[in-house]
């Protein structure tokens, strides 16, 4: 019996025949996530419990077969792609909300729980879960932990790591451990913090303890409409400079506006160059005062109009446009590459101007969507992968944008992770010594490099003229991810 047949038989014995996918026509669905990369796994296993995850990991170890965890597949950096083949371990069956501690505002959930479903479930207690990626109607909390996901409301409330207290983890040998717990503080090394954002390269999370927040007394959403993108960018800096930290501060350019309006009908003026979506929450009096301040600041930058939405249905309509814009870009082009860099807010005008220049010079439209309050850019390069040369061209454009982000004092990723998309650009930010130190962490968790291999760190190949770090040889061949 071939090794592949033996592996599939062993996997079926763990989870049952119906939860092992191995026919070529079925594996196509698991070749990709939300990025542009593709790779076909040997088999896909849909586990239903921590025990099953542990046994599947042991099969991977026994056969020296790579294994990659996968949630809803909404990731945007290639993190869930089986670049070296092997087993894809899907955790979407593990979708139980195990415990709600209302008094201590804590929930214990499985990794397959959809982000929005948790907030919907605890709404009856006047609580919610703060991190809200744009894909929150589909993305899972396990994937959010793997990528340290953010979202529009993370300006004021922080990203995933600020809301995860502890987790159950299956390690590379199949053992099960708890990192952190149900309290904010724990002694010893912060293994919980190390695991968050590690993109499935150190272990697989099977239970998550999250912090819940009390729903605010009052919420207001302002839509500020500008003729020019530069004016909207300047208004962002003006709001933060005034000492105002809204719950959310989002920006969309004209391309995004037109796509979102056609798809959702959110009420954005289609002749606008950019809109700001500003949300303020808290006590009634504070919200009123802060909303007036935001409106005053925006008025200094020549807005076309400023609207205020307090009715829940009106607020939901405005946010539907923002949350639905990436899917709506399909009306403009068959494909997009979404770049996830972060820059200082004071450099937004400059960076967006340089992105527009790249678009004009290359002829590829670039739609700009931003978590503007924290300088997190999401320029989406529109293209058609069926046209020869298009994919190669937009990958270079994406790299050029990342270089600009680092050049002005920013970073390669704000919330989507490094994965495959940005790994060869890591030397732009880190020295050989930095990379070597990080590379030495992986063998402490995974000596055989089977957990999501070939991700995050440079592979050692020359890429777009960047000199790849020599630290790989110093750290040893098994240390490199």
**Do 3-90 and 335-421 come out as alike in CATH topology?**
no
Q: Which residues are CB-neighbours of 439 under 8 A, at least 6 positions away?
A: 457, 471, 472, 475, 479, 480, 481
- Residue 221 exposure: Cα atoms within 13 Å on the Cβ side: 21
368-386 tens-digit pLDDT: 999 999 999 999 999 999 9
Q: Name the CATH topology of 97-214.
A: 3.30.465
Distances 172 to 10, 18, 55, 80, 146 between C-alpha atoms, Å: 18, 25, 11, 17, 16
Q: What is the CATH number of domain 3-90?
A: 3.30.43.10
* DSSP label at residue 59: H
User: Which of 221, 260, 213, 251 has the alpha carbon at shortest distance from 233?
Assistant: 251
What residues have CB less than 8 Å from 13, skipping those under 6 apart?
Answer: none
From the number of C-beta atoms within 10 Å of its C-beta (0-12, 13-18, 19+), residue 93 rates as middle
**Angstrom distance (rounded) from CA 128 to CA 15:** 33
Task: Tell me what pLDDT residue 2 has.
Answer: 59
pLDDT digits (tens, 9 = 90+) for 146-188: 999 999 999 999 999 999 999 999 999 999 999 999 987 778 8
CA atoms within 13 A on the CB side of 78: 21
Whole-number pLDDT of residue 86: 96
Q: Specify the pLDDT at position 226.
A: 97
Q: Per-residue pLDDT tens for 315-355?
A: 999 899 998 998 899 999 999 999 999 999 999 999 999 99
Report the number of secondary-structure helices (H) and strands (E) in the chain: 17, 19
List the chain domain ranges: 3-90, 97-214, 216-332, 335-421, 425-475
- The CATH number corresponding to 335-421 among 3.40.50.1860, 3.30.70.2740, 3.30.1200.10, 1.20.1560.10 equals 3.30.70.2740
| CATH number, domain 216-332 | 3.30.70.2190
- Per-residue model confidence (pLDDT) at position 385: 94
pLDDT of residue 481: 32
Dist CA 91 CA 46 (whole Å): 6
Rounded distance between C-alpha atoms, residue 140 and residue 93, angstroms: 11
Please report, in angstroms and rounded to a whole number, the separation of the first and last CA atoms in the chain: 31
* Rounded Cα distance, 453 and 402, in Å: 23
CA–CA–CA angle 343, 344, 345 (5° rounding): 110
Report residues of the chain scoring pLDDT below 70.
Answer: 1-2, 460-481
Cα within 13 Å of Cα(115), Cβ side: 25
pLDDT (0 to 100) of residue 469: 36
């Amino acid at each position: 019996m071939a090794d592949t047949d033996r592996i599939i038989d062993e996997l079926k014995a763990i989870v049952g025949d119906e939860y092992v996918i191995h026919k070529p026509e079925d594996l196509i669905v698991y070749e990709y996530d939300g990025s542009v990369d593709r790779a076909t796994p040997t088999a896909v296993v849909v586990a239903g419990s921590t025990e099953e995850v542990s046994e599947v990991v042991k099969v991977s170890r026994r056969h020296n077969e790579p294994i990659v965890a996968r949630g809803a597949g909404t990731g945007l950096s290639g993190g869930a792609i089986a670049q070296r083949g092997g087993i894809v371990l899907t955790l979407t069956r593990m979708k139980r909300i195990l415990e709600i501690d209302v008094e201590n505002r804590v929930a214990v959930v499985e990794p397959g729980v959809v982000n929005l479903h948790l907030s919907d479930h605890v709404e009856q207690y006047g609580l919610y879960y703060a991190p809200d990626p744009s894909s929150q109607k589909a993305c899972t909390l396990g994937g959010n932990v793997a990528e340290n996901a953010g979202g529009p409301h993370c300006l004021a409330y922080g990203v995933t790591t600020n809301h995860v207290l502890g987790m159950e983890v299956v390690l590379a040998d199949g053992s099960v451990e708890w990192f952190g717990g149900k309290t904010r503080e724990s002694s010893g090394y912060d293994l919980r913090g190390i695991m968050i954002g590690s993109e499935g390269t150190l272990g697989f999370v099977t239970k998550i303890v999250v912090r819940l927040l009390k729903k605010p007394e009052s919420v207001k959403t302002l839509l500020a409409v500008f003729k020019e993108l530069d004016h909207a960018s300047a208004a962002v800096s003006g709001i933060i400079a005034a000492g105002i930290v809204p719950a959310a501060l989002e920006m969309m350019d004209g391309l995004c506006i037109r796509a979102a309006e056609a798809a959702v009908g959110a009420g954005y003026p289609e002749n606008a160059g950019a809109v700001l979506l500003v949300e303020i929450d808290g006590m009634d009096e504070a919200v009123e005062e802060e909303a007036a301040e935001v409106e005053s600041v925006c008025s200094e930058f020549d807005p076309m109009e400023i609207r205020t939405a307090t009715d829940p249905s009106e607020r939901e309509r405005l946010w539907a446009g923002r949350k639905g814009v990436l899917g709506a870009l399909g009306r403009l082009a068959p494909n997009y590459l979404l770049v996830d860099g972060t820059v200082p807010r004071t450099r937004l005008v400059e960076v967006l101007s340089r992105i527009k220049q790249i678009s004009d010079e290359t002829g590829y439209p670039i739609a700009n969507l931003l978590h503007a309050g924290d300088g997190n850019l999401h320029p989406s390069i529109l293209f058609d992968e069926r046209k020869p040369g298009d994919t190669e061209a937009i990958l270079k454009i994406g790299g050029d944008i990342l270089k600009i982000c680092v050049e002005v004092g920013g970073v390669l990723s704000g919330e989507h992770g490094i994965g495959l998309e940005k790994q060869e650009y890591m030397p732009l930010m880190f020295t050989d010594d930095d990379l070597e130190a990080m590379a030495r962490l992986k063998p402490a968790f995974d000596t055989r490099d089977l957990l999501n291999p070939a991700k995050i760190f440079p592979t050692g190949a020359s890429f777009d003229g960047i000199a790849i770090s020599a630290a790989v040889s110093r750290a040893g061949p098994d240390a490199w991810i």
